[in-house]
Structure 1
Amino acid sequence: MKKKATAGLAAFLALATSCAFAADILPVEAPEAVDAGRPLWALQITPYMWAAGLKGDISPFRRAPTIPVEKSFGDIFDDLNFGGFVNLWARYDRFVFSGDAMYTSTTDAHSFGSIPQLPGWTGPYPSSADVDVDTKQFTSTLTGGYRVLDVSGTTLDLLGGLRIWHVSNRVKVGGLVNNTYVSASHKESFSWVDPVIGARLFHGLTDRLSFHLQADVGGFDVGSKITYQALATFNYILTDHLSTSVGYKVLGVDYRHDGHVFDTKLHGPVLGMTYRF
């Protein structure tokens, strides 16, 4: 019933969020990249791990009771079927682009003495039941922007774009009615898009060590009421093309529409490996 991803810690953990549960960027840019002689183009890809905990309120299907959720990373990993996180970052002269994708699949099982009736259920309903909730979440953040500051060892980019969310829940209920086991399932999914604005700061500390900070905010009642994210990492250059990053990331959203509630915050340490072209 519960499965752990054998490939989780490699790509994700190659849990969610989220999420999340965009998650955005573990860019590692060498201090030399801000020199006058740098190439016009720069491109890098970063698969990363995110040991995130989850806190918030959700409803597994439309107009279901809102359920408070608070889980550590260990709890989420126990429920994890698969998870993956990857980031792409590119620059052309002073124009920058980032794309971040997050996908998680989890199964959460509980026994309840009193549960809401599933949509479409007919006939007697069990007074107590076992409930499995399979949740799949995809979140992608796409932003573009312009480098407004470029001095030796330090850059600042202003960004704007979209965060795309898709959440799919399959609820399975089974229990005894008049000493007979009955079961049913119901699946719902919902999606929305949030506009986001943000900034990215990079500062070289030594020839190999650097600091990166990126944050954004959005939603503005276009999709969610609000969504926000912040990421801070220290980055170390291993070779001409390979770098590693360690830091901390937060991703939050408050979405309430048409009976669906998805109000969550994912937060925890991140570890990434970047390949630069």
Structure 2
Amino acid sequence: MRRLRSFSAIIGIIAAGLALPINADDINEEAWRFQLTPYVWMAGLAGDVRPLENAPTVSTSRSFSSILDDLDGAFFMTGTARQDRLVLFGDISWASLSQASTLPFGIVANSKLRQRFITAAAGYQVMTTPTQQLDLLAGARAWQIDTDINIPALGIDVAKTKQWVDPIVAARLRSLWAPNWSTLLHADIGGLDMSKKNTWQVVATLNYQFSDTLYLSGGYRHLSVKRDETDSLIDIEMGGPIAGITWRF
């Protein structure tokens, strides 16, 4: 709960921007505006996992470089759509990892993990000035985690899929610091049970505008997910640098 209270403080800091005046002249009330950002997330991870009921809980801590050795593929993209003060937001993350390890007596164990989560939210631009814009949103993050464990010598071949949806609330603060330089701070929190089933993340980026339609971004993303159930446990922190290219149209 301590990390959730700290995260709530971040939401409060962002919302403090509401004290700034609103400049309605900066908003185009008619046209839809879109942006898409494919990005790379160089995340490490740490935490506890119990993939099956009655299985031991495994604590893990891996850097991005060690994860890269086992990576089969990954895809990340985020996007927004806007009309007047209406804001639609989406994010897609997918990664697949495979690993072969040797158990006692030379027994080979093969494991495969596929992780997908999709975030969708809608909201309202509650504040806009010549240099800052603040959005407040609500939505959901849908998860699917597939785990396959194969130990041929023991005749073990187990596959398990976990799916769930967490409601979320989010805040996005965009700040212009120079003609071509801006920052974005995104924070969200959610879940059905803050003690056993919760999720939160913080994303901060520095952005450079090359043209009216093209931006380059770099920053950091941290995502936490906890799912404590009778048949499984997932309590993982994922964090690392991100880099992306944004196309606006």
TM bucket, shorter chain? 0.7 to 0.9
Asked whether 1:67 is paired with 2:58, we answer: yes
What runs of 5+ residues in structure 1 fail to find an aligned partner?
A: 1-33, 114-126, 176-181
1:55/1:264 contact within 8 Å kept: yes
Q: Deviations over 1:183-230 (max 9, x none)?
A: 331111011110111201001111110011010111132896211000
Q: CA deviation at 1:40?
A: 3.2
Structure 1 segments (4+ residues) deviating >6 Å = none
Identity of aligned residues (%): 35
* Equivalent residue, structure 2, for 1:88: 79
SS of 1:134's equivalent in the other structure is strand
Letter in 1 for 2:178: T
The Cα offsets for residues 215-274 of structure 1, whole Å up to 9 and x where unpaired, read as 011113289621100000000111121111000000011101241111111100000000
Higher helix share: 2
Q: For 1:21-32, what aligned pairs fall within 5 Å after superposition?
A: none
Describe the SS at the equivalent of 1:74.
Answer: helix
Contact 1:224 1:253 in 2 (8 A): no
1:12 maps to: none
Deviation of 1:65 (Å): 1.4
Mapped to 1, the partners of 2:102 and 2:242 lie a distance apart of 33
CA RMSD, 1 decimal: 2.0
Q: Which has the higher contact order (CA 8 A, sep 6+)?
A: 1
Corresponding residue number in structure 1 for 2:193? 221
Structure-2 separation of matches of 1:98 and 1:224? 26
TM-score (norm 1): 0.77
Structure in which a larger fraction of residues adopt strand: 2
Question: Match for 1:242: what amino acid?
Answer: L
Q: Does 1:168 align with 2:146?
A: yes
Q: In 2, Cα distance between the equivalents of 1:47 and 1:132?
A: 31
Which one of 234, 247, 251 corresponds to residue 223 of structure 2? 251
1:152 aligns with 2:124: no
1:211 equivalenced with 2:202 (yes/no): no
The match for 1:44 among 35, 43, 59 is 35
Unaligned runs of 5+ in 2: 1-24
State how many pairs are aligned.
226
| CA shift digits 1:57-114 (9 cap, x unpaired) | 112333321111110001111010011101111111101011100111101222223x
Aligned CA distance change for structure 1 residues 60 and 132 (closer, same or farther; 3 Å)? farther
Contact kept in structure 2, 1:138 and 1:166, CA below 8 Å: yes
Deviations 1:4-47 (A, max 9, x none): xxxxxxxxxxxxxxxxxxxxxxxxxxxxxx83568632101110
